[in-house]
A and B are shown apart, each in its own frame.
Chain A
Amino acid sequence: MIAQSLPPLALEARGLIAGYERDLPIVRGVNLSVRVGEFIVLLGPNGAGKSTLVKAIVGLVPIHEGAVLLNGDDITVAPPHQKIGRGLAFVPQTENIFTTLTIEDNLLLAADVIPKPVRARRIAELYAMFPDLAAQPSRPAKLLSGGQRQMLAVARALVVQPSLLILDEPSAGLSPKIVAEVFGRLKAINATGVTIVLVEQNVKAALAVAGRAIILVEGEARHEASALELADDPIIAELYLGAARARS
């Protein structure tokens, strides 16, 4: 009876084995289920395979075994450029905007895959959501600060109104104040119904906004719990997060 009331699955990974080399998989049999509307954070020590897992889901790292389902559709072998059309948007950790283009061109580029009549309206909505970007649309993106770049990267990903937004360490290199601002925006985006999967090293900040956390160790999903439980669990923190916990 309880299962019937749960929202449907937005993302599912079944026995995923992935990595740049077939003989040296970094992700080793991960099973992952994310329900529509959830805000999930993927935690784990450096080298646990968090970034590789999301890159494999997006299509940037070869999947050797297993399957990825987006809203029930198998997207395991779909190339990255097709996944955006199916509602999956990704914000990489670094090089996540086109620095040679202006702010507006970064957004227009992403808007090329949505119907022409709604493009201008969608970009206006995003400018309303990110006023910093609206103030200087013709500014070359290379001149933006770290925080502004992350905002542009998130705005760029939201242009297509994705059902699932995956972000790889958006807090990297940002000051605590900017991290709080970025995460606050992510929480607000999640509140609009967008499912979010966040890879993070900044455990404290991530657990403050996420609903559920999944811990990856050595390419395997070892533990999952609600963010609230995990935030108060010193044993888990000691076992899996180590230095990351100490840093945050």
Chain B
Amino acid sequence: MSPQVIVDGLVAGAMIGLGATGVTLTYSILRFANFAHGEFIAWGAYFALAVSGFLGALAPALTAPIGPFSFGWSLPIAALAAIALTAALALLVDALLFGSLRAKNSAIIIMVMASFGAALTLRNLLEFIFTSSPAYYAEGLQMALRFAGVRATPDALLCLVIAAIIVIALHAVIAHTAIGRAMRAVSENPQLAAIVGIDSRKIVRLVWILGAGLACLAGVMAGLIVQIRPTMGLDLLLPLFAAAILGGIGSAMGAMLGGLIIGLAESLTVALAGGEWRAAVAFVILVAILLLRPHGLFGRS
């Protein structure tokens, strides 16, 4: 495995891992596979595009590239706004759809089917508003940095660093704070958590906010490194679920590790067998982990 394959795999893996962290959190608390999670990624990317475009029109100086990066201050500011907007979107979808199904004690399969419906609606709405043409945060070309025979753009390296910081911070919150303890309690036994005094509705809202925020960041990263398209979330869905299950449902660090493994496996496969095999990698890993170790690397058996 050449160093370049490793770096490419890590960058793609960090993006997958960040999205998978959101999947694993929502899955562990809400107890269903939310197939609309990919759409939160795409909506997050487009929210950031719209807000940064608006900021750029308002104050063109904000679009001037920061140091070696391809984007100006308009993008980090827009990303923060997009996190809030994506979280609001997730809460809205929950209030309109999943919340009422939960109140009726709907079966998991109903929740999953509803998430398919939500995904279709959100994706088509995005295409209706922004068209299916690809979009970019910055049009200019960015020079890759070279070190030890490896090339990587500053944007990609920044994404790696941000993903690492966020996952470590999230792990610390889940493992060492009262709110993290409450989240773990609701994840293990919602009924007992209620008896102990935890309002599970608050935890559900928090998890939607966290999951959607992480999805948004993954979307901004994907937009920065690749491009922004309405189907970008759909394309990432299989790798996200494969990474979340590989890491073990409920484990933020596991999801990130799962994402990195899938990113590296995809990168290696592209180098050895060609780009057409990339999409098969996550599927093969998903099937293998479900057969061999269904609770994943760090999940509860």
Q: Does A98 contact B (CB under 8 A)?
A: yes
**Which residues of the partner chain A approach B300 to less than 8 Å between Cβ atoms?**
100
| Given known A98-B185, A101-B181, A109-B181, contact A156–B196 (CB-CB < 8 A) | yes
A55 CA / B119 CA spacing, docked (Å): 38
Q: Output the nearest chain B residue to A96 by Cβ-Cβ distance.
A: B192
| Given known A98-B185, A109-B181, contact A85–B197 (CB-CB < 8 A) | yes
Q: Does A99 contact B (CB under 8 A)?
A: yes
In the complex, how many residue pairs between chain A and chain B have their CB atoms under 8 Å apart? 65
**Which residues of the partner chain B approach A194 to less than 8 Å between Cβ atoms?**
none
Q: Does A246 contact B (CB under 8 A)?
A: no
| A58–B195 touching, CB < 8 Å | yes
A60 CA / B196 CA spacing, docked (Å): 12
Q: Does A218 contact B (CB under 8 A)?
A: no
Q: Which residue, B188, B191, B192, has most C-beta atoms of chain A within 10 A?
A: B192
**Which residues of the partner chain A approach B200 to less than 8 Å between Cβ atoms?**
81
Contacts of B161-182 to chain A: CB distance below 8 A? 178, 181-182
| A100–B188 touching, CB < 8 Å | yes
Q: Which residue, A90, A98, A101, has most C-beta atoms of chain B within 10 A?
A: A98
Contacts of B184-210 to chain A: CB distance below 8 A? 184-185, 188-189, 191-200
A95 CA / B81 CA spacing, docked (Å): 42
| Given known A60-B195, A80-B194, A81-B194, contact A109–B188 (CB-CB < 8 A) | no
| Given known A60-B191, A98-B192, contact A105–B197 (CB-CB < 8 A) | no
Q: Does A112 contact B (CB under 8 A)?
A: yes
**Which residues of the partner chain B approach A100 to less than 8 Å between Cβ atoms?**
184, 188, 300
| A113–B197 touching, CB < 8 Å | yes
A108 CA / B193 CA spacing, docked (Å): 13
A95 CA / B196 CA spacing, docked (Å): 13
Q: Closest CB of chain B to A137's CB: distance in Å? A: 14
A108 CA / B184 CA spacing, docked (Å): 13
Q: Which residue, A84, A90, A109, has most C-beta atoms of chain B within 10 A?
A: A109
- Assign chain B's interface to a size class: 10 to 19
**Which residues of the partner chain A approach B184 to less than 8 Å between Cβ atoms?**
98, 100-101
**Which residues of the partner chain B approach A80 to less than 8 Å between Cβ atoms?**
191, 194-195
| A90–B195 touching, CB < 8 Å | yes
| A112–B192 touching, CB < 8 Å | no
| B185–A101 touching, CB < 8 Å | yes
**Which residues of the partner chain A approach B191 to less than 8 Å between Cβ atoms?**
60, 80, 92, 95
Q: Which residue, B184, B197, B198, B200, has most C-beta atoms of chain A within 10 A?
A: B197
Contacts of A35-52 to chain B: CB distance below 8 A? none
| B199–A112 touching, CB < 8 Å | no
A95 CA / B192 CA spacing, docked (Å): 8
- How would residues 163 to 181 of chain A score, 1 for a CB under 8 Å from any chain B CB and 0 otherwise? 0000000000000000000
Q: Closest CB of chain B to A22's CB: distance in Å? A: 14
Q: Closest CB of chain A to B71's CB: distance in Å? A: 41
| A99–B196 touching, CB < 8 Å | no
Q: Closest CB of chain A to B197's CB: distance in Å? A: 4
**Which residues of the partner chain B approach A7 to less than 8 Å between Cβ atoms?**
none
Q: Output the nearest chain B residue to A112 by Cβ-Cβ distance.
A: B178
Q: Does A110 contact B (CB under 8 A)?
A: yes
**Which residues of the partner chain A approach B196 to less than 8 Å between Cβ atoms?**
81, 84, 109-110, 113, 156
**Which residues of the partner chain A approach B188 to less than 8 Å between Cβ atoms?**
98-101
A236 CA / B22 CA spacing, docked (Å): 58
Q: Does A27 contact B (CB under 8 A)?
A: no
CB-based closest 8 A-B pairs: A113-B197, A84-B197, A80-B194, A81-B194, A81-B199, A100-B188, A90-B195, A110-B196
Q: Which residues in A have some Cβ–Cβ distance to B below 8 Å?
A: 58-60, 79-81, 84-85, 89-90, 92, 95-101, 105, 108-110, 112-113, 156, 160
9 A-B contacts (beta carbon < 8 Å): A60-B191, A60-B194, A79-B199, A84-B195, A98-B184, A100-B300, A109-B178, A109-B196, A109-B198
